[in-house]
Amino acid sequence: MKVIKHWTIKIFFMTLFISAGVSVAAEYFISNLSLLASIGILAALIAVGVVFDIVGVAFASCDQAPFIAMSAKKNKKAHSALKMLKNADVVSNFCNDVIGDICGIVSGAAGASITLKALVFDFPFPDLVVSIAISALIAAATVAGKAWGKTIALKRNKDIVLAIGSIANFFSGGRDKG
């Protein structure tokens, strides 16, 4: 129970600082870019949320057994993946809830900024229609992307976990070719 409480407090502050940083960066870029470039930033935020959702679901659904076997054969990438798999709840929470939710929330805020930019162009639609259309498109793209991603994550969870293990191994200084 103490570990859960510690993680909850830690994740609260991590989320607070990451979301503040991402929000500031997104607002800065969106306020200083053209409408089209701002839409590109928004699309990137949605894509990041979808990718992290894929990783979170892959870790939550992946069996450790193949990674135990690969790790026993001195595969450092599998060893890195196995260490993360042993904490799949934390990895999944970070990917799905911290990064995924931050991207979702910041996407909504970015959508509001884009709506204001779009209204400057005097579209032949009422302001409310433009605002609702942009919000609905953001929600639809996010939900559809995550639905697509979950299918991939469940079918290819071992490959995804091993790829993340490779990335973790690389950044931890390991250079295993196995």
Q: Which residue is it, tokens 């973790």?
A: 168
| Torsion (CA) 101, 22, 4, 162 in degrees, nearest 10 | 80
Length reported for the chain = 178
H helices present in 33-126, as ranges = 35-61, 65-72, 76-85, 88-92, 100-120
Supply the pLDDT for residue 39.
92
Supply the pLDDT for residue 174.
66
Supply the pLDDT for residue 144.
97
Supply the pLDDT for residue 132.
93
Supply the pLDDT for residue 95.
95
Residues of the chain with pLDDT under 50: 176-178
- Alpha carbon separation from 108 to 101, 133, 138, 149 (Å, rounded): 11, 12, 7, 20
Close Cβ partners of 19 (under 8 Å, ≥ 6 residues apart): 102, 105, 106
Amino acid of residue 168: A
Tell me the per-residue pLDDT of 8-24, one tens digit each, with 9 for 90 and over: 888 899 889 988 888 88
Specify whether the CB–CB gap between 8 and 89 falls below 8 A: no
Supply the pLDDT for residue 141.
97
Supply the pLDDT for residue 29.
81
